[in-house]
Amino acid sequence: MTTQVKITIRDLYKIFGPTPLAALEHVRAGMGKAELLEHHGHVLGLQDINVDIRDGEITVIMGLSGSGKSTLIRHINRLIEPTAGDILIDDDNILSYSLDQMRELRRERLSMVFQKFALLPHRTVLENAGMALDVRGFNVSDYEQEATQWLKRVGLEGNESQYPHQLSGGMQQRVGIARALVSNAPIMLMDEAFSALDPLIRSDMQDLLLELQRELRKTIVFITHDLDESLKLADHLVILKDGLVVQQGDPQEILLNPGDPYIVDFISDINRARVLRVRSVMAPLNGTDHKWTGDIDEQSNLENVLSRSGGEANAIFRVMREGRPVGVLSMQDVMRALVPLEAASEPRMRG
């Protein structure tokens, strides 16, 4: 069953400078980012972006500094206005919204988690968690139960009366996530939300996000420059370079079939055994009986398969999904998957 598209981005351009529409004509005629800046003094932020963000999934937008990823996410809540293109939420073009409609959209349907936490220092943890309801006119007694519930879920039970300066960075970001959840918005925008955290805390926050997502099925747009984080979180991965989408799709498919030399370089040092999953490598069952080495879940990584094989080169596993056999995995398939492929000649795009 195809998941419904929640956010549609079509033919989106953003050019920074005094006459962006004039500069847009040069870009559409084939002028690149460096040439546009050198000859016309304009900065090409985004070029012809087409992305479908599906309901209930985590879409990760990844790129290095200057790739346009933060510019892109800020178009979704119109903190930045596009030079050209369309942005639809639930099939409704938000670029036609009035100021009042945009305020309502930001209050009711969108929440945002920032890299720098964006907590109010003079308000308690409880009051910060309830900010989304506060701006809708509710007082503390109205949202206290809801905020307390989500603070407990993110591991901050007992901290309600503390102030942000009394919390560690990881705890402050947990308040930011609780605040987004208290809003009950179906869409969460997360801009480098974990980038300021220490590696171990960052990993814990990723695990927390995935745990909450399994239950809540929010539509999450997550911005990062980190490939490991992208591969851990993404249902759908969009890779940007210089304002262009280089490749997008299932992160497992991108790993197995990189569509551009830029992506080949990006993934060259990744531990493929740790990030590639059985479901991406398995073959169909095709009715053949085998002497199974054992059963393995389709979401297991290949590192687990190698461990389970005990070094047996002829090991064959039956792949299971929710207790049902769905495929077969041989060690030959595993070995082939662990050898990086050359980039395909054309990027593989997800419509």
User: Could you give the C-alpha distances from 35 to 41, 47, 245, 297, 299, in angstroms and in order?
Assistant: 9, 14, 19, 50, 45
pLDDT band at 34; cut points 50, 70, 90: very high
Backbone phi and psi for residue 229, each to the nearest 5 degrees, phi listed first:
-65, -40
CATH class for domain 55-83+93-267? alpha beta
pLDDT average, residue stretch 130-154: 85
Task: Check pLDDT > 50 for residue 339.
Answer: yes
CATH topology of domain 272-337: CBS domain Like (3.90.1280)
User: Could you give the C-alpha distances from 154 to 4, 102, 158, 186, in angstroms and in order?
Assistant: 28, 29, 12, 18
pLDDT band at 285; cut points 50, 70, 90: confident
Task: Check pLDDT > 70 for residue 345.
Answer: no
Residue whose pair of structure tokens reads 């307390």 in the numeric block = 148
| Alpha carbon distance 62, 347 (integer Å) | 16
Domain parsing of the chain, residue ranges: 55-83+93-267, 272-337
pLDDT band at 350; cut points 50, 70, 90: very low
The structure's pTM equals: 0.86
Task: Check pLDDT > 80 for residue 351.
Answer: no
Same CATH fold assignment for domains 55-83+93-267 and 272-337: no
| Alpha carbon distance 317, 290 (integer Å) | 9
pLDDT average, residue stretch 325-347: 77
Task: Check pLDDT > 50 for residue 38.
Answer: yes
Backbone phi and psi for residue 247, each to the nearest 5 degrees, phi listed first:
-160, 150
Q: What share of the chain is helix, strand, coil (3-state, %, to 5)?
A: 40, 25, 35
pLDDT band at 340; cut points 50, 70, 90: confident
User: Which tokens in the block code for residue 11?
Assistant: 């033919």
Using one digit for the tens of pLDDT, what is the confidence trace for 160-189?
999 999 998 889 989 989 998 998 899 999
pLDDT average, residue stretch 121-134: 89
| N- to C-terminal Cα separation, the chain | 15
Which pLDDT value is given to residue 170? 86
pLDDT average, residue stretch 224-246: 94
Mean predicted lDDT score pLDDT of the chain: 90
pLDDT average, residue stretch 34-48: 96
Which pLDDT value is given to residue 99? 95
pLDDT band at 288; cut points 50, 70, 90: low
Task: Check pLDDT > 50 for residue 127.
Answer: yes
Task: Check pLDDT > 80 for residue 119.
Answer: yes
pLDDT band at 341; cut points 50, 70, 90: low
| Alpha carbon distance 258, 58 (integer Å) | 20
Task: Check pLDDT > 90 for residue 144.
Answer: no
pLDDT average, residue stretch 329-336: 92
Which pLDDT value is given to residue 344? 42
